[in-house]
Amino acid sequence: MGRKILFVTTDQQRYDALGCNGNTIARTPVIDQLAAEGIVYRRAYNQNSVCMPARSTMLTGQYVRTHGVVANGIPLPSDAPSVAGHLSERAGYRTALLGKAHFEPGFDLAGRFEENARAVRGDTGPWRGFERSVQAMHAAAAVRMTPDGPHVIGPISHYGRWVEQNHPEHLTSFAPLLSALGGGDTNAPETKNNPIPREWYHTDWIAGLVIDWLDTIQSEEDWFCWMSFPDPHHPWDPPASEMKRVDWRDLDLPPGHPGSDEAIRTVLARKPAHWLAWWEGRWQNREGGPGGFYPNVLTHDQIREINAKVHVMNELIDEALGRVLHHIDQRGWGAETDVIFTTDHGELQGDYGLIYKGPFPTDALMRLPMVWRPAPSAGVTPAEITAPVGQVDLAPTFCTIAGAPTPAWMEGTALPTTPASTRERVLCEWDSQFPSHGMHLRTIYRDSWVCTAYEPSTDGQPTGLEKIVGDRVLKPCGIHYDGTEGELYNVDDDPHQFHNLWDDAGYQSVRADLTADLYDNLPTARPDRLLVEAPT
């Protein structure tokens, strides 16, 4: 009998969301205890700062330019390798993925892609190496707002169908996703005081799925369970009954907020052109939020309410994880279960006066919470590790825990367990799914520096999306980069990345060294570029 693996992910959760990483508002005692007993990675980064590419990297152990999902809207090929399949085949593990998957476009009500077709069919069986797979997204249904109120277009994922069958009155309880419609107490975008009872909300629902699946496992069997929460991703609408935990009126603006409109303009003007253009309403951030939303309309109170709801979502996740860990202990597996907790990417959440995500290479989006509590029976000494690591290292780590060989198709290496690690760098990439934008960003973190090279824009050139929505998306967005632009920050001196040193004469040797190191270590891109097949 070997070690069990509980892999826990959230969606769009910042590094500073947890108490063990400095949060003083959200109470996360379960994760904080795992951190105290295990390993905390202080410089964990994703390899892409949106959902589908990041999640595909976690499944495959490959860089985005290898598995091919370089942007949302590109489905992971059905024959892509899977660490779950590898553990099943080579180490006899039972496997499950319960919660958000998002390896394929998520809002596909017709079931064009298998991830969504499975929910339409009611299929919860084998998929992508998992023997059981049951999915949830951020809302129960796709909803159209009409003069008569919300109209349900159709349920989303297995969770939406469960709500439809058991509690249909709550299909419209969630804020409409990617609508930017105002709600809550302050009319903040994509915010709502959600009337759904906590026990029917997707966080506790997913914990229940995991507990039920664990009860199908024999005591002597090894298992790998990916428990994947859709929160704290927008819409910001946890159960209203839980909002007494954090009053938005008591919150300060986040430390990464410059404080005033004038200060926001000053900070954003130091960055490449699309930063300020989005805030001022001259450029659409269709890559990471609602296309018609411009952040200069946000009030300070709206940012406070969004943050309060995020803190509550994070507390509910922590408590749900506690339920599952308690059940694991009851099954007698506590001493032999490894727990790894992380997320796919972060959220701007008021930094720079912005919300959502997109082509913004900042620690708010790239730096991840990552905690590994090895099974107590493994005898690993608790540690804080400052060496850079990435999502690409997760799959090899699972192999190491399971005692399975690490296959050649994985491109990362198992996470270090001691502060003596000599790792030097971690890489992150961004490529547009929208041909109108055509932005390509390459980032390296090394030696306390975050350096991003902006490659020449390909705005107006096809990505495949134009075949789905028409040639109008080929019209250039108005921001074009010629390949000389970039961003450079020392995050020890400038943790919020306010002062861009890319063009500073005193840092040209640093910039040149980091840029050369970045391109020396990027793997070769796959020769068959995958096309965008659906907006996501």
pLDDT tens for 238-283 read 999 999 999 999 999 999 999 999 999 999 999 999 999 999 999 9
Question: What's the whole-number mean pLDDT along residues 11-37?
Answer: 98
Average pLDDT over residues 304-313: 98
441: exposed, middle or buried (Cβ count in 10 Å: 0-12, 13-18, 19+): buried
39 closest CA partner among 527, 385, 480: 385
Rounded CA separation 430/272 (Å): 15
pLDDT digits (tens, 9 = 90+) for 360-388: 999 999 999 999 999 999 999 999 999 99
- Angle made by CA atoms 237, 243, 248, in degrees to the nearest 5: 90
Q: Of the given ranges (21-30, 107-116, 129-138), which has the lowest mean pLDDT?
A: 107-116
Residue 9 CA to its chain's centroid (Å): 8
Is the pTM value of this prediction over 0.85? yes
Question: What phi and psi values does residue 7 have, to the nearest 5 degrees?
Answer: -105, 115
Q: If pLDDT is split at 50, 70 and 90, which confidence band does 1 have? A: low
pLDDT, average across residues 501-527: 97
Distances (CA, A) of 162 to 101, 139, 200: 17, 12, 10
153: left (phi over 0), alpha (psi -120 to 50) or beta: alpha
pLDDT digits (tens, 9 = 90+) for 164-197: 999 999 999 999 988 889 999 999 999 999 999 9
How do the domains of the chain map onto residue ranges? 4-521
Instruction: Enter the tokens of residue 346.
Output: 């972060």
Residue 134 is which amino acid?
A: V
Kindly state the greatest CA–CA separation across the chain.
64
Residue 168 preceded by cis peptide, ω within 30: no
Q: Cα–Cα distance between 216 and 262 in angstroms, integer?
A: 58
Could you report the per-residue pLDDT of 423-469, keeping only the tens digit for each? 999 999 999 999 999 999 999 999 999 999 999 999 999 999 999 99
Tell me the two tokens of residue 215. 């009860």
Parallel/antiparallel/unpaired status of strands 223-232 and 182-183: unpaired
* Cα 424 → chain centroid: 23
Q: Note the pLDDT tens digit of each residue in 199-220.
A: 999 999 999 999 999 999 999 9
DSSP state of 488: E
pLDDT of amino acid 148: 82
Fold adopted by 4-521? Alkaline Phosphatase, subunit A (3.40.720)
Helix axes 83-91, 394-402, angle to 10 degrees: 10
The stretch 91-120 carries a mean pLDDT of: 94
Q: What pLDDT, on a 0 to 100 scale, did the predictor assign at position 126?
A: 98
| Nearby residues of 88 by Cβ (< 8 Å), 6 or more positions away | 94, 95, 129, 131
Cβ atoms of residues 366 and 49 within 8 Å: yes
Q: What b-and-e string marks burial along 25-43, b requiring 16 or more CB atoms within 10 Å of the CB?
A: bbbbebbbbbbeebbbbeb
